[in-house]
């Protein structure tokens, strides 16, 4: 289907859902702004601009201060902030694929933007520019309506799936370029540049700051430095791209030819585990159950490789896998990399906390068709997490000599983006990047 038709169908579905949400919460109009830039404290430098996600859900236009006015049964109004400015580039709108979905007004100033919005009755506003909305008598960022809209974002339309597919294509190109650079002996900084060049975007346009971790830095989960030393033994590359605001989130581990064969074998085992977990994604499966299974699989792998002396059930019950795997199995993915509503129990905003035995879960929901989730089991050698086990009564179950030998190689995380279908799932990442 052409992109215009995909988008117009998407907009129709999203507007219908928004209309139901507004009626349920006593509103007639929803106003959303694309957002205001953030300026660093005591400075005139702005951080890279991120569009308000709820605005992005309805309209792909980029830039700050645009406003949408959504009313059930009416064509949405887009007020485009288009100042005359010689300091910053002001590109013409042209005729983008999405334009037919909106009534468009151009506004040369912030005052003109909000004059075009007016003072609609029974209206609410979502965004980070609440002052003019409050002045117009709107309620700003109501928790109940926002949670309901968050819940709706969990179910992707075909347009959104298309955007995620394209983001995956770009992300896979970047990963292949990064791997080649690593195997050629490149530094973390050079690998990062190889990824950005292959994706063909500005660094600020990546889905998130790249994680390019060689050797022991692979055990720092959100490592963002870029060292200059070359010829690492291991590379953990966690990077993603964007298309029309939608993100891919992919992680791969590559080992150099001379890497310790015991670590290589552990990477191969984690690869098998991750593929099996991704294949287990299906409607009706509680995500927490899948996360628990990932711990059982890790426990079996650690026992197989002589790292842990305990059966899978016993190891998980005693918490012995947690220092090796301290994060959740995955998260919802969409406009935001860690997308919203992962811990909601329903559209009413009720909260579903993670269980005590798995406190780091980012989603506690049951898997449903239309969701896109990441599957990213890990196995790391993190000294600060392992140290308490050296000192407690369970320490004899750990092969500390082997752990100390493998610790300089960091850790393993393998991550795919998976679309839940009516009968099972599609692994969007493996369609583009096999290993």
Model pTM greater than 0.75?
yes
- Residue 430's contacts (CB-CB under 8 Å, 6 or more residues apart) are 275, 278, 416
pLDDT of residue 15 exceeding 90, the answer is yes
Distance CA 23, CA 264 (A): 56
- What secondary structure letter does DSSP report for 218? G
- Between strands 77-81 and 103-107, the pairing is parallel
C-beta of residue 204 within 8 angstroms of C-beta of residue 48: yes
Distance CA 160, CA 166 (A): 10
- In tens, the pLDDT along 234-290 reads 999 999 999 999 999 999 999 999 999 999 999 999 999 999 999 999 999 999 999
Beta bridge partners of 237: 212, 252
State the average pLDDT over residues 81-99.
91
Beta bridge partners of 373: 332, 418
Distance CA 159, CA 170 (A): 17
Range 261-269, long-range pairs (CB < 8 A, 24+ positions): 262/305, 262/402, 262/405, 262/406, 263/233, 263/234, 263/406, 263/409, 265/305, 266/301, 266/305, 266/379, 266/406, 266/412, 267/412, 269/301, 269/304, 269/305
Three-state SS for 232?
A: coil
**Where does 158-427 sit in CATH, by number?**
3.90.230.10
- Residue 272's contacts (CB-CB under 8 Å, 6 or more residues apart) are none
213 sits in which H/E element = strand 211-214
CA dihedral (316, 317, 320, 324) positive or negative: positive
54-60-61 Cα angle (round to 5): 105
State the average pLDDT over residues 203-219.
97
Distance CA 97, CA 336 (A): 22
Per-residue pLDDT, 88: 83
Domain 3-152 and domain 158-427 have a common topology: no
- Which of these, 229, 227, 126, 236, lies nearest to 185 by C-alpha position? 229
Per-residue pLDDT, 264: 98
| Mean per-residue pLDDT over the chain, rounded | 97
Tokens representing residue 74 in the block: 């009416």
pLDDT of residue 394 exceeding 90, the answer is no
pLDDT of residue 297 exceeding 90, the answer is yes
Tokens representing residue 347 in the block: 């559209």
Q: What's the count of helices (H) and strands (E) in the chain, helices before strands? A: 12, 16
Per-residue pLDDT, 291: 98
Q: What's the chain's length in residues?
A: 435
Per-residue pLDDT, 11: 98
For residue 388, count other CB atoms closer than 10 A to its CB. 11
Distance CA 120, CA 28 (A): 8
The residues spanned by each domain of the chain are 3-152, 158-427
Helix axes of 188-199 and 158-183: crossing angle, nearest 10 degrees: 140
Per-residue pLDDT, 382: 98
Give buried/exposed letters for 346-376 (b at 16+ CB in 10 A, else e).
Answer: ebebeebebeeebeebbbbbebebbbbbbbb
Its CATH architecture, for the domain 3-152, is: 3-Layer(aba) Sandwich (3.40)
Distance CA 297, CA 363 (A): 20
pLDDT of residue 72 exceeding 90, the answer is yes
Range 360-365, long-range pairs (CB < 8 A, 24+ positions): 360/326, 360/327, 360/328, 361/287, 361/288, 361/291, 361/328, 361/329, 362/328, 362/330, 362/331, 362/332, 362/338, 363/287, 363/328, 363/330, 363/331, 363/332, 364/287, 364/288, 365/154, 365/286, 365/287, 365/341
- Residue 145's contacts (CB-CB under 8 Å, 6 or more residues apart) are 21, 22, 25, 27, 30, 124, 126
pLDDT of residue 434 exceeding 90, the answer is no
State the average pLDDT over residues 359-375.
96
- In tens, the pLDDT along 310-332 reads 999 999 999 999 999 999 999 99
pLDDT category of residue 333 using cuts at 50, 70 and 90:
very high
State the average pLDDT over residues 339-355.
96
Per-residue pLDDT, 89: 83
Per-residue pLDDT, 86: 84
Per-residue pLDDT, 391: 87
């Amino acid at each position: 289907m052409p992109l215009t038709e995909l988008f117009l169908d998407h907009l129709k579905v999203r507007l219908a859902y928004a209309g139901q949400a507004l009626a349920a919460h006593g509103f007639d109009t929803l106003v959303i702004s694309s957002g205001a830039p953030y300026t660093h404290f005591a400075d005139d430098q702005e951080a890279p601009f991120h569009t308000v996600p709820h605005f992005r859900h309805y309209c792909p236009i980029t830039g700050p201060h645009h406003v949408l006015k959504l009313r059930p049964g009416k064509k949405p109004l887009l007020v485009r902030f288009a100042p005359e400015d010689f300091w910053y580039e002001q590109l013409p709108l042209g005729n983008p694929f999405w334009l037919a979905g909106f009534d468009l007004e151009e506004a040369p100033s912030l005052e003109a933007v909000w004059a075009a919005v007016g003072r609609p009755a029974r209206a609410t506003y979502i965004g980070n520019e609440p002052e003019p909305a409050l002045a117009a008598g709107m309620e700003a960022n109501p928790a109940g309506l926002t949670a309901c809209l968050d819940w709706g974002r969990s179910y992707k339309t075909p347009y959104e799936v298309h955007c995620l597919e394209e983001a995956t294509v770009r992300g896979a190109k970047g990963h292949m370029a990064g791997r080649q650079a690593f195997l050629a002996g490149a530094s973390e900084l050079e690998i990062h540049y190889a990824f950005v060049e292959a994706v063909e975007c500005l660094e600020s346009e990546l889905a998130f700051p790249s994680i390019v971790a060689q050797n022991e830095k692979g055990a720092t989960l959100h490592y963002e430095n870029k060292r200059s030393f070359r010829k690492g033994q291991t590379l953990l590359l966690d990077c993603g791209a964007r298309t029309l605001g939608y993100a891919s989130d992919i992680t791969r581990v590559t080992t150099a030819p001379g890497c310790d064969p015991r670590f290589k074998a552990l990477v191969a085992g984690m690869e098998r585990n991750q593929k099996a977990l991704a294949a287990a994604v299906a409607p009706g499966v509680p995500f927490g159950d899948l996360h628990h299974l990932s711990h059982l699989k890790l426990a079996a792998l650690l026992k197989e490789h002589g790292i842990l002396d305990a059966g899978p059930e016993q190891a998980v019950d005693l918490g012995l896998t947690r220092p090796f795997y301290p994060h959740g199995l995955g998260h919802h993915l969409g406009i935001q990399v860690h997308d919203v509503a992962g811990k909601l129990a329903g559209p009413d905003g009720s909260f579903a906390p993670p269980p005590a035995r798995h406190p780091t879960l980012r989603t506690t929901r049951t898997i449903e068709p239309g969701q896109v989730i990441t599957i990213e089991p890990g196995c790391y050698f993190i000294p600060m997490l392992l140290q308490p086990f050296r000192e407690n009564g369970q320490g004899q179950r750990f092969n500390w000599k082997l752990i100390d030998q493998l610790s300089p190689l960091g850790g393993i995380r393998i991550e795919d983006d998976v679309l839940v279908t009516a009968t099972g799932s599609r692994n969007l990442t493996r369609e583009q990047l096999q290993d």
